[in-house]
Structure 1
Amino acid sequence: MAVSVVVIGVCGSGKSTLGKGLARALRLNFVEGDDLHPQSNLEKMSSGQPLNDEDRFGFLSNVGFVLSEHKKAGVVVSCSALKKKYRNLLRLHDESVVFVLAELEESVLRERLMRRKGHFMSEKMLDSQLEIFERPTEDESVIFVDGHLGPDDQVRDILAKLAYDRSRCNADLNGPEI
């Protein structure tokens, strides 16, 4: 059975790194959510302006389209999905989607963002995302992982929680690379 996973969280939480590793382990395509933003969103965020619900609708529609298109085969997508209503909108495209959230303290997020170069999301944008972030509840089909773990350990944790058939994975889960 295929699984679709959306790696969620605020900027700096490691969505892309975790998503790529998880996709590799599950032998699924990875879709970078940042690439699904309309140009107007990228320009707005690059200028330090947070997105509003209206801005996010086009982006979420694009993410939803990816989920719909990969429903049979499965896919891993990175997407902030900061609010419950955003996650619910994505569920309309694939009701069995699993969300993954790597949790980190604000200070660690800020440090990561200050080190990140050449990305449209600056450290200044973190405040607006934290302000609207609605931490998922247990009834939302969310896997929580420790954001302090390395990516390989996070993937192992997620795979264990998914209770996924590891024989389909392309990697030795006991090895150094996933």
Structure 2
Amino acid sequence: MASLLMEKPDFIVVMGVSGTGKSVIARRLAERLGVDWIEADTYHSPENVARMRSGQGLTDCLRWPWLAAVAAAALDVPGRPAVVACSALKRSYRDFLRQRLGDVAFVFLDGEAELIRQRLGDRADHFAGPSLLASQLATLERPQTDERFIALPIAWSPERIVDTAAAAFA
């Protein structure tokens, strides 16, 4: 569990592939910290959503406008810290968020592909289904030691994940 967390950041990005529980953890973490949170999925274009619903992953060209919209929405949140649920799969995406937002720390939700596949299969009405898992895992660049992050296993209960993340930002 690598971590470079020392002080409370302005933005906490809960990241990982689809099906790791980003939205649930981000919402609960924001509630625990008494701050606002942003669901990055709501900033996808209708074209991106349709593409993902059909089982096609997004290209970098399709992700950049989405990431810009997510960063703009995060900057519009009045208080700090703010929590953002966003896949942030590549280092370049995380670098972009850091450039736009400044003081950012990441909560990387990590888990076995089979558990993630099961979770994706269990959710009913999300546009990112099990068919996207392979492309998400292929795109994922795990955070490196020079990034400010904490990695938490999705096999833990949501309560334990939130407790651990909240303690890291106390």
**Is the TM value for this pair above 0.5?**
yes
Q: Quote the residue 2:26 is aligned against.
A: 19
Whole-angstrom CA distance in 1 between matches of 2:164 and 2:151: 9
C-alpha contact 1:4 1:71 (8 A) present in aligned 2: no
C-alpha contact 2:9 2:105 (8 A) present in aligned 1: no
Q: Quote the residue 1:157 is aligned against.
A: 164
The Cα of 1:67 is off from its aligned counterpart by: 2.6
Q: Quote the residue 2:64 is aligned against.
A: 57
The Cα of 1:84 is off from its aligned counterpart by: 0.1
Consecutive unaligned residues of structure 1, counting only runs of 5 or more, are 165-178
Of 103, 116, 128 in structure 2, the residue corresponding to residue 121 of structure 1 is 128
Q: Give the AA of the match of 1:158.
A: A
Q: Does 1:109 align with 2:127?
A: no
Q: Give the AA of the match of 1:122.
A: G
Q: Which has the higher contact order (CA 8 A, sep 6+)?
A: 2
Q: Quote the residue 2:48 is aligned against.
A: 41
Q: Quote the residue 2:146 is aligned against.
A: 139
Consecutive unaligned residues of structure 2, counting only runs of 5 or more, are 1-7
C-alpha contact 2:9 2:104 (8 A) present in aligned 1: no
Q: Secondary structure at the match of 2:12?
A: strand
Task: Kindly tell me the number of residue pairs found equivalent between the two proteins.
Answer: 163
Q: Quote the residue 1:31 is aligned against.
A: 38
Identity of aligned residues (%): 36
Q: Give the AA of the match of 1:101.
A: F
- Normalising by structure 1, what TM-score? 0.87
The Cα of 1:135 is off from its aligned counterpart by: 0.4
Whole-angstrom CA distance in 2 between matches of 1:136 and 1:36: 23
Whole-angstrom CA distance in 2 between matches of 1:85 and 1:50: 17
RMSD: 1.4
- Normalising by structure 2, what TM-score? 0.91
Of 33, 50, 74 in structure 2, the residue corresponding to residue 67 of structure 1 is 74
**Which is higher, the Rg of structure 1 or of structure 2?**
1
